[in-house]
Amino acid sequence: MKISIATWNVNSVRAHLDAVDRYLSEQAPDVLCLQETKVMDDLFPLEPFRDHGYVHHALFGQKAYHGVAIFARARVPLAKVKRHTWCGVDQARHLSCVLPGGEELHNFYVPAGGDKPDAEANPKFRHKLDFMTEVAAWFKRRKRRNNRFILVGDLNVAPLETDVWNHKQLLRVVSHTPIEVEHMARWYASHDWRDAVRHFIPADEKVYSWWSYRSPDWRKADKGRRLDHIWVTPALGDSLVSAGVAKDVRGYKPASDHAPVVAELNLS
C-alpha cells in the first residue's frame, strides 16, 4: 500500500484552521501529523478534518501550549494509540500509533530550548537536551533489525550546515548549536535511522522547513532552517518513494512559520 505521510508544526490549529483546510483540499496526504496544536482534546476542531475524509484521529493536547495529533484517511486506520511523556514532564509532546501494515508511527514535538544555548543558565535548554537523550536511549533499547518504525515531527534541530541559511552565524543560536547537533546524532544512531528528505535531496543542497515570522518577505530573504523531519528505520529504507518540503504552504494566509514535510512510502 502506497501512502503519503505529512508532518507539520501548525502553530495553533485553531488560529491556522483556514490554512489547514486549504492544505487538505490541495495536497491531501493520507496521514497528517501535527505539532504545537495548542488546544485541549475536547476543544479540538475535528469537523474540518472529517469533512476532508480524515475519519481516524489520535489527540494529545493541552491548553495553550505544545500538543500533537495524528489524522488519517479511512483506508489508514490507527491502532494501538499511545501517549508518551518524557523527563517526568507531561507536556503533550509525543504520540504514537500503529498503521495497517504494522508500521509504528511516532509523532514528536521536541522542546524548542529557549533563547540561550546554555544548559546551566537555561532550564529550557537543559530540558531539550535531556529530552533527546532519554528518547534516544528508549529507541536504542527497543532496537531490532526488523522494526518498521516511522518517526516524524518538529524535532527543533537543524543538524546539517545546509539545513540553515548561514552555518557560521547560527552556531550559537538554539537549534543549530554543536551540542544540539551531537544529541540529535546520538538519537539518529539509536536505531540507525534514515532521513527521508536527505535520502532524496543531497546533503550539499540547502533545504528548510521553517522561516521566521520576523522577516517581512520570508521567501525573498529565505533565511530558513530545517527543523521538521521524517525518519524511518532501516527495515523501511527501501519503501521510500519520495520526500520533500511543501514550501508553498508557508505562504498560506494565515500562515504557520513551518511548512509541512511530506514523504511517500510503499508499505507492503
- pLDDT at position 268 is 75
Please tell me the pTM assigned to this model: 0.98
What's the Cα-to-Cα distance from 41 to each of 31, 63, 106, rounded to whole Å? 19, 9, 18
CATH of the domain at 33: 3.60.10.10
| Beta-ladder partners of 5 | 31, 263
- pLDDT at position 216 is 84
Order of strands, edge to edge, in the sheet holding 79-86?
Answer: 79-86, 89-98, 104-109, 149-154, 228-232, 194-195
User: How many domains does the chain divide into?
Assistant: 1
Per-residue pLDDT tens digits for 116-154: 999 999 999 999 999 999 999 999 999 999 999 999 999
- pLDDT at position 36 is 98
Question: Can you count the helices (H) and strands (E) in the chain?
Answer: 7, 14
Domain, as residue range, for 223 = 2-266
Per-residue pLDDT tens digits for 147-180: 999 999 999 999 999 999 999 999 999 999 999 9
Per-residue pLDDT tens digits for 62-99: 999 999 999 999 999 999 999 999 999 999 999 999 99
Per-residue pLDDT tens digits for 213-222: 998 899 999 9
| Nearest residue to 10 (alpha-carbon basis) of 36, 49, 38 | 36
The average confidence (pLDDT) of the chain is: 97
